[in-house]
Amino acid sequence: MMKFSILFILLFLSTHNFKAQNNSNIANLRVVYDYKVIDSIHNNHKNVEFTLLLNNNYSIFVNADAYSYYNSSYMPELGSINRVPPSEKYSVYKKNGKIYSFIPILYEMYYFEEPQLEWELIKNQTKKFNTVTCQLAKTKNESGRVFYAWYTTDFPIPEGPSRFKGLPGLVLEVYSEDKVIQ
């Protein structure tokens, strides 16, 4: 059995005016996460950069290489026709409170609506990420795996990596209780 560990770390946070903008598809905030996958059997690891782009109505969590690849696919003058597709193609999109995961299978892109996670806020548990103070929360997914998330109300935005959204602040780190995902 292969064991994977995943670590989401906030690498870059750019704040712009986050006031309501009606019908806007422009991102007001960009957060870059480092997604670390460790294969304990083969003693390999790889780091993949994911970007979370969001505004008040939408968010997309996508691999930076995939975003660049598909964004330039429509511009042949950039030489994108013979480009090698990115290795990570998974993405998560949120629109009006609903979360959708997009997963490529062979040559098709499939998506499904993710069930909402129910969070339990853990009192008196704090951690610092540089100068940002975070609080701890706990959730369980539909298969029963328990996850912990460090979020900050310094950025009162209910967003985070992948489907880990819905807390009273921006999620900066996620890991599973069994340490398979950390």
Query: DSSP letters along the chain, please?
Result: ---EE--EEEEEEEE---S--TT--S-SEEEEEEEEEEETTTTEEEEEEEEEEE-SSEEEEEEHHHHHHHHHTT-GGGS-TTPPPPS---EEEEETTEEEEEEEETTEEEEEEEPPPPPEEEEEEEEEETTEEEEEEEEE-TT--EEEEEEETTS-----STT---SSSEEEEEEETTSS--
Q: What percent of the chain has pLDDT over 70?
A: 68
Q: Is the CB of residue 127 less than 8 Å from the CB of residue 148?
A: no
Each residue of 15-36: pLDDT tens digit? 333 333 344 567 888 898 887 6
pLDDT of residue 3 exceeding 50, the answer is no
pLDDT of residue 12 exceeding 90, the answer is no
Residue 82's CB: how many other CB atoms inside 10 A? 5
Q: What is the pTM of this model?
A: 0.74
Give which of 11, 87, 85, 97 is closest to 51, Cα–Cα. 11
Query: In DSSP terms, which residues pair with 48 in a beta bridge?
Result: 35
- Choice between 55 and 76, residue whose per-residue pLDDT is larger: 55
